[in-house]
């Protein structure tokens, strides 16, 4: 049973460019979450999916951010027209809910974004 | 709305001494409570959770936490700290009755265990 994986681990981009991150959850986990963590802070919720449906989005998720989980497996998070304020660690987590399973969220290693 | 407070930015402890990391929470209904640990440039690693039942929860690596409903606290403890326990610790909460499962995290407490 492999853990949550994220790609890339690090991304450096120039202001105004678009970036896309990928998250592969633990297999058969039906929920997938995206969080953002800035230096010295705890993670903040961005959005989550139940299978392929995006069920909740935080107000932190501006129009420049879009997330997809097209087949209910991996997910992508795209940021358009990046700004320096987007510099952060982007964390993905997955969980299994339903039946006897409670939703412990297991996190990936994160993608650290630096916008110059 | 749900929130978590970790009142100490940093906790220093000598190796072999007891370790306590404090956490208080606020939710409208019943809480699910979690502790995670983060090592440098790594994601969060799950330590333990309180869902229901016994107020004393045991987790990974010898850690435990005590749920106290009247004080709305969920302090993390370890009887004998190791140098390798030095890391950033996060407490998180979500409301049991909430439709979504988003976690709200505290600001984190850095633990430094000195040899």
> Which tens digit of pLDDT belongs to each residue from A2-39?
799 999 999 999 999 999 999 999 998 999 999 999 98
What letter would DSSP give residue A61?
S
- Cβ <8 Å between B102 and A102: no
What would the mean pLDDT of A43-52 be, rounded to a whole number?
Answer: 94
The pLDDT value recorded for residue A101 is 60
What would the mean pLDDT of B24-31 be, rounded to a whole number?
Answer: 91
- Which positions 29-88 of B are in contact with A (Cβ < 8 Å)? 32, 34, 36, 41-46, 49, 51
In this predicted structure, the answer to whether residue B39 has a pLDDT above a threshold of 70 is yes
- Cβ <8 Å between B101 and A106: no
Pick from A12, A46, A26, A27: which is nearest to A108 by CA? A26
Mean pLDDT of chain B, nearest integer = 93
3-state SS assignment for residue B60: helix
The distance of A33 to chain B (nearest Cα, Å) reads: 8
What letter would DSSP give residue B61?
G
The pLDDT value recorded for residue A1 is 52
In this predicted structure, the answer to whether residue B112 has a pLDDT above a threshold of 90 is yes
Task: State the greatest distance between any 2 C-alpha atoms of chain B, in Å, as a whole number.
Answer: 45
In this predicted structure, the answer to whether residue A92 has a pLDDT above a threshold of 90 is yes
Q: Rounded CA gap, A94 and A106, in Å?
A: 5
List all residues 6 or more positions away from A36 whose beta carbon is below 8 Å from its beta carbon: A43, A44, A46, A60, A88, A89, A90, A91
């Amino acid at each position: 049973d492999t853990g949550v994986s994220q790609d890339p681990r690090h991304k450096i981009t120039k202001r105004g460019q678009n970036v896309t991150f990928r998250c592969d959850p633990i297999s058969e986990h039906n929920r997938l979450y995206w969080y953002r963590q800035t230096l010295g802070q705890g993670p903040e919720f961005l959005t989550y999916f139940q299978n392929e449906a995006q069920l909740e989005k935080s107000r932190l998720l501006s129009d420049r951010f879009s997330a997809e989980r097209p087949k209910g497996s991996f997910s992508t998070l795209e940021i358009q027209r990046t700004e320096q304020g987007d510099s952060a660690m982007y964390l993905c987590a997955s969980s299994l809910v339903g039946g006897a399973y409670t939703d412990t969220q297991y996190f990936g290693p994160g993608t650290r974004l630096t916008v110059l | 709305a749900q929130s978590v407070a970790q009142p100490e930015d940093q906790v220093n402890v000598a190796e072999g001494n007891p370790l306590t990391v404090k956490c208080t929470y606020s939710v409208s209904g019943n809480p699910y409570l979690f502790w995670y640990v983060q090592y440098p440039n790594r994601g969060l690693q799950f330590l333990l959770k309180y869902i229901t039942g016994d107020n004393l929860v045991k987790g990974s690596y010898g850690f435990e936490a005590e749920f106290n409903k009247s004080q709305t606290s969920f302090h993390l403890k370890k009887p004998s700290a190791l140098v390798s326990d030095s890391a950033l610790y996060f407490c998180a909460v979500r409301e049991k009755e909430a439709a979504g499962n988003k976690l709200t995290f505290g600001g984190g407490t850095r633990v430094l265990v000195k040899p």
